[in-house]
Amino acid sequence: MNNSVLSEKTEFEYEEEITLAVQIITSKSEEVSYQVDYFNSPEEYEKFGYEGVFAITVRFSQKTVGELDT
């Protein structure tokens, strides 16, 4: 298992999803560490055949919860 977290300040735009943390699950003994930005490039993870890649993301909005589309 390999974990990566966003560890620096980042600019954002409202309604844009930001990846905060990524966890890679694999039974392989070799693992490659990625910055969290790679979560938006799934082809990078596919190269290694990982069993699971999970992320915690956040999106800031100027809308109220009632105004958000689900």
Residue 10 is assigned to a structural domain of this protein: yes
Q: Could you give the angle at the alpha carbon of 18 between the alpha carbons of 14 and 22, nearest 5°?
A: 170
Q: pTM for this structure?
A: 0.73
Q: pLDDT tier at 26 (50, 70, 90 boundaries)?
A: confident
Residue 7 is assigned to a structural domain of this protein: yes
Report which DSSP code applies to 44: H
Between 56 and 26, whose confidence is greater? 56
Burial 30-55 (b: 16+ CB within 10 A, else e): eeeebebebbeeeeebeeeebeebee
Residue 67 is assigned to a structural domain of this protein: no
What is the length of the chain?
A: 70
Residue 68 is assigned to a structural domain of this protein: no
Report which DSSP code applies to 51: S
State how many domains the chain has.
1
Residue 35 is assigned to a structural domain of this protein: yes
40-51, pLDDT tens digit by residue? 888 877 888 888
pLDDT, position 18: 92
Residue 12 is assigned to a structural domain of this protein: yes
Residue 70 is assigned to a structural domain of this protein: no
Range of the domain at 41: 2-61
